[in-house]
Amino acid sequence: MMARRAGRRLAAVAVAMVSAVLGAEGCNSFPTVFGTLADDLPNSLCDGVGLRPDAGDGARTVMPHVVVHTLRGAFDVSSRGMDSLARDLSRLGIEAYSHSDSEWQRVADRIASAYLGSREPKQIVMVGHSFGGDCIIRIAEVLRLRGIPVALLFPVDATIPPPVPDNVAKCVHFYIPWPIFEVAPWILPGQPVVAAEGNTFTRLENDDLTRSAWCVTHLGVDASRHVHQRILDEILALP
């Protein structure tokens, strides 16, 4: 098992290097293989890609009181699962948008303007992969300073996540620990998130994916079926 995981991680590092090259060349995704993005192929070994076809029991689930914002990671190359999640949620009747991590400050302003300008503001849900996971926590902090609550926060294998502020009701971090990453936790993913000092309000959960979806890599976790389904379930459970 350890050898298999080590091999998977080495492959992930190699793909990360390719991501950087593709991003530098202006590409916005990996090529597809049999209809699946190449970086998501390992998911098929134990998990799956995206929501199940029967998610939501095949019925449109209208939730006008919720808005979801997803943020891709660096280069936008290996985070296209954030786009597909937003599309799938929209298909189910849940308002959802996808953004680049580089837009996080504008996204924060957009969320704040919509919330403060509404008589019946919507519950805010944010999902972010890799650096996008770091950015949604930064957005939550900006919203805290403006007195705006966040219902759900889902960092997906965040890279250098800041502490979670106390305006977040619940935070579930899907992460993939790897011992060698502990050598440089300030630049590498695989670390659990923590609450900000004095934050006793947020319900914080770190979901170790090596226990539930061993085949998923950092570059494919954005499209993980386990992750997407858990996010949908948590959204549907909102009051």
User: SS3 for 222?
Assistant: helix
Return the pLDDT at 216.
81
Task: State the Cα–Cα distance between residues 110 and 104, nearest whole angstrom.
Answer: 10
CB 222 within 8 A of CB 19: no
Return the pLDDT at 190.
80
Q: Which residues pair with 98 in a beta bridge?
A: 70
Return the pLDDT at 152.
99
Return the pLDDT at 212.
74
Read off the tokens for 126: 């944010």
Query: What averages of pLDDT result for each successive group of 10 residues across the chain (239 residues)?
Result: 42 44 45 51 65 59 91 84 95 95 97 98 98 97 99 96 98 84 56 95 95 79 92 94
Choose among 172, 194, 113, 103: nearest CA to 148. 113
Q: What is the pTM of this model?
A: 0.81
Task: State the Cα–Cα distance between residues 96 and 6, nearest whole angstrom.
Answer: 36
CB 211 within 8 A of CB 2: no
Task: State the Cα–Cα distance between residues 99 and 69, nearest whole angstrom.
Answer: 7
User: SS3 for 5?
Assistant: helix
Return the pLDDT at 25.
41
Q: Does domain 2-236 have CATH number 3.10.450?
A: no
Return the pLDDT at 199.
98
Q: Sheet harboring 168-175: ordered strands across?
A: 95-99, 66-71, 123-129, 150-156, 168-175, 203-208
Which distant-in-sequence residues (6+ apart) come within 8 Å of 54 by Cβ?
none
Which amino acid, 212? S
Which distant-in-sequence residues (6+ apart) come within 8 Å of 187 by Cβ?
159, 160
